[in-house]
Every structure is written in structure tokens, then in C-alpha cells.
Amino acid sequence: MNVSVENLAPCKKLVRVELDVTAVDAAFDEVTKSIQKQASLPGFRPGKAPRDMVIKKFEAEIKDEAKRKLIGESYRKAIDEQKLQIVGYPDIEEVQFGRGQALQFTATVETAPEFQMPEYKGLPATLEAKSVTDADVEKALEMLRAQQADYKTVTRPLSNGDVAVVNYTGTCEGKAITELAPTAKGLNEQKNFWVETTEGSFIPGFAAQLIGAAAGDKRTVNVDFPADFVTPQLQGKKGVYEVELVEVKEKVLPELSDEFAKKYGAENVEKLRAGVRVDLENELKHSRKKVLRGQVVKALLEKVNFDLPETAVANETRNVVYDLVRQNTQRGIARELIEQQKDEIYAIAAGNAKERVKLAFLVGRIAEQEKIQVSQEDVLKRAQQLAMIYQMPFEQFVKDLQKRNGVNELYEQVMHEKVLDLIEQNAVITETAPAK
């Protein structure tokens, strides 16, 4: 077998393979014998038909099977011989094939990038020296009380902490909001809309201009839509709202008592307070780990540059686009708005995809260098975690996983986590004072 390799582009090669006529004829003979043993022709017992008749009857099948067998085996042998690390599937073409002639074909393949392994231990990271304080616990308890709040209608003027029930219509640049943003009907007009008079509620500055008003009062409210406002067509623009205050509702919080604690599964207030502290500490630990991971991954990616296989980047870009669209849909953003932002979404996805693919190759090399292994127990544990997250019976989750050949994906996830955990454990962390 003769093999030659030509570089077409970074991470793309053309592999030419030629197999002599002897090997080709041997494959034809092997396939013919195999089919002859099973062939059933009129007048002959199964497997007893003459070779010539079998060849005449099953010529197309013999040729297809010999071709599949020869190309498959010689392609794999050529790749091993040339020590090529292939990404994805080959594009086979220019096939010359038939009885009594040499086999010739080319395979266009994408290969894993070649790069000098960067130092991945001792990467720098900066974390705030945070801890859960008593004030944090009390704030969380107040949020739990707010979840159980009652709202009673009062006749006094609206004050901070109240809820204003309003009717409103809005304009921007002298036009109805929906003329600029057709999908933003809720920003254009609402009846009996509840607005809490707290910072960050609804549109910034809206509720503050209603303080002191009583039920039945009408006010003109001027707002500045933030530069990062959820509706792109309104970002950075000014809006005017004609508002009628229908009702003033006072927020009444329940008493922080043992009875209240039992609603959250705690025996008493002290047990509730202890449980809240544990939850906050777990949240802080998760948050710190997320920040740490983001920083060490960024530092690792910045240490080395190399070309990436185009197909791998394109496939990952599709995955990221799908994730972004799904996330935006779950946030309630209309399909029409997502369609309007498709170019921006694709640009973000392409950038993210390149980083993901680059990181995957680095992680693979680190796992190899550190001899990191993934056991069946590791994969099983990951599957159990995902089944719980998706609220599926474990057996059903495993069946779905096998149906879509997702076991390898699970293996890669576990390997990815193990490598990043190793990098985090070896990071050089600088702690700074908490931001005020």
C-alpha cells in the first residue's frame, strides 16, 4: 500500500492511498467466498451454487462489499501509518476501483491542531475574600418574608415600599412604543399593572415619580431607557408615560416566628436561620468556583494560539447558536426579536465556539499528560446527577442517552471537569478585600 499526505490548509490534509491489484483481487475472492456460502440459487442447495453463477447473480453486492471493506481497512491503516489524529469524518473521493485493477482513492481529513503545550499549573486568579455575614442571613430571611407578604389596599398616598396599581400608556420619540418595538406590547399599555416602589422595579425611575400620589391621581412620568434595556429598539432612548394610579397597596410582611419557619421545613426560627446560612455558604462557594474557573480558563487560553479545525468550529457554533436561542426563548424574548438579532447571536456564538473548541483540545492534551482516567463509576454518577437535574427517572435517562449515543458525550464531560478541577487546584489565588 502506498500512502502520501498533502497539506491543504491548517488542520486539513489530503491523504492519497493506492492499493495494488493483488490486494484488490484477494478482497474480491474473500467476499465472493463469503457470499457463496450463503447464496441460495434455483437448483442448488444453499451454499452449493457454482462460483461463476454466484458472481453473475451477486456481482453488484460483491463489488460494493469489497469496495467498502478495502477502503475502510486501507484508510484506517493509512491513518495509523501516518500517525494522523483525525477530527470528524473523512471525505472520500476520486475512487478508482474494480476487479483486476489497483484501488486508488483520496481522503480529505481534518486533523487535531499541533501546538506546544503551555504551562497549566500556577495560573493566576483573583477572588474577593468574602464570607457569609449575619447581615447576609437577615437579608435572606427578609426575602423569605417578602415571598409570603400580604398586600392590603390603603387610602393614604403612595410611599416607599408600597405597590402602585396603575393604568398607563407609553410613547417614545412622540410615537407609541409598539411603533418602534412591535413586540413590546406590555411596555406600550397596561391596565391594573402592579409596580413596587423599590429601586430597579419595572423601568428605572418610573415608580419614584409616583410617590405621594393617591388613588385616582394622574401623572406624566418621564423615563430614560437604559443602554442595556431588554428591548433593543428602546435602548438609550427617552420615554413618556401617562399614568393613572388606581390603588395603593401596603406590603405587610409576616412575623418571623416559629410558625413562619415551619412553612420552610424548619422546626423554629433558629433552625431556619442556620439552614439559610448553609444555603448562602453553598451559593458563595459555587459563585467563587465559577469566578475561579472563568479566570483560569481565560488565562490558559491566552497562553497559546493555534489553528482550529473548521468543521469542529462550525459544529460547535451551531450548538452555541441553539443554546443562545433556547435561553432567550426561556427568558420570554419573542421569536421576532430573536430573528432580528440573528447576526449578533451568530457573531457571539462563533467567538464562543472557537474558545470551546480550543479549550477542548487543551483539556484533551492535559488529560493525556496527567494520565487522568474516567471510570464507569464516574460516568454513572454524572448520569445520576443529570437525571436529577432534568427530573427524569434514572432508567429513562439512561435509555434516552443510549438512544442518541450520548455515553461518549458524558465521558467527555466528566473528563473536562476533572481536568479543570486539576487546573483550579493548582491555581495561584490572590484574595482582595470585598467590593463595597
Question: 157, 213 in Cβ contact below 8 A?
Answer: yes
Among 186, 189, 168, 178, smallest CA distance to 233 is for 178
Q: What is the mean pLDDT of residues 299-312?
A: 94
**Residue 362 pLDDT exceeds 80:** yes
Among 124, 114, 24, smallest CA distance to 432 is for 124
pLDDT grade for 151, boundaries at 50, 70 and 90 = very high
Q: Give me the residue spans of the domains in the chain.
A: 2-111, 150-252, 278-432
Give me the helix-helix angle, 269-302 and 407-425, nearest 10°.
Answer: 90
**Residue 328 pLDDT exceeds 80:** no
Q: Can you name the CATH fold of 150-252?
A: Chitinase A; domain 3 (3.10.50)
Average pLDDT of the chain? Answer: 92
**Residue 343 pLDDT exceeds 90:** no
**Residue 331 pLDDT exceeds 80:** no
Question: 213, 195 in Cβ contact below 8 A?
Answer: no
- pLDDT at residue 225, rounded to an integer: 94
- pLDDT at residue 304, rounded to an integer: 95
Q: What is the pTM of this model?
A: 0.76
pLDDT grade for 372, boundaries at 50, 70 and 90 = very high
- pLDDT at residue 231, rounded to an integer: 87
pLDDT grade for 425, boundaries at 50, 70 and 90 = very high
- pLDDT at residue 293, rounded to an integer: 96
Tens of pLDDT, residues 266-275: 999 999 999 9
**Residue 215 pLDDT exceeds 80:** yes
Q: What is the mean pLDDT of residues 215-219?
A: 96
- pLDDT at residue 280, rounded to an integer: 97
pLDDT grade for 51, boundaries at 50, 70 and 90 = confident
Residue recorded with cell 424548619: 266
Q: Is CATH 3.40.50.1220 the classification given to domain 2-111?
A: no
Among 108, 111, 103, smallest CA distance to 15 is for 108
**Residue 366 pLDDT exceeds 90:** yes
Q: What is the mean pLDDT of residues 324-347?
A: 79
Phi (first) and psi of residue 222, to 5 degrees: -105, 130
- pLDDT at residue 172, rounded to an integer: 95
* Secondary structure element (H or E) that encloses residue 248, with its range: strand 238-252
**Residue 197 pLDDT exceeds 80:** yes
**Residue 336 pLDDT exceeds 90:** no
Residue 364 CB-density burial (10 A; 0-12 exposed, 13-18 middle, 19+ buried): middle
Q: What's the CA gap between 305 and 114, in Å, rounded?
A: 10
**Residue 387 pLDDT exceeds 80:** yes
- pLDDT at residue 434, rounded to an integer: 82
Q: What is the mean pLDDT of residues 337-344?
A: 80
pLDDT grade for 227, boundaries at 50, 70 and 90 = very high
* DSSP letters for 175-216: EEHHHH-TT-HHHHEEEEEEEESSTTSSSTTTGGGGTT--TT
CATH number of 278-432: 1.10.3120.10
Cell of 219: 401623572
Q: What is the mean pLDDT of residues 3-23?
A: 94
Q: Which residues contact 274 (CB under 8 A, 6 or more apart)?
A: none
Tens of pLDDT, residues 104-138: 999 999 999 999 999 999 999 999 999 999 999 99
pLDDT grade for 201, boundaries at 50, 70 and 90 = confident
- pLDDT at residue 238, rounded to an integer: 95
Q: What's the CA gap between 84 and 5, in Å, rounded?
A: 10
Question: 158, 248 in Cβ contact below 8 A?
Answer: yes
- pLDDT at residue 390, rounded to an integer: 86
Contacts of 365-372 with C-beta under 8 Å, sequence gap 24+, read 365/117, 366/117, 366/120, 366/419, 366/422, 366/423, 367/415, 367/418, 367/419, 369/117, 370/419, 370/422, 372/415, 372/418, 372/419, 372/422
**Residue 333 pLDDT exceeds 80:** no
Q: Which span out of 86-95, 273-282, 332-341 was modeled with the highest average pLDDT?
A: 273-282
pLDDT grade for 219, boundaries at 50, 70 and 90 = very high
pLDDT grade for 327, boundaries at 50, 70 and 90 = confident
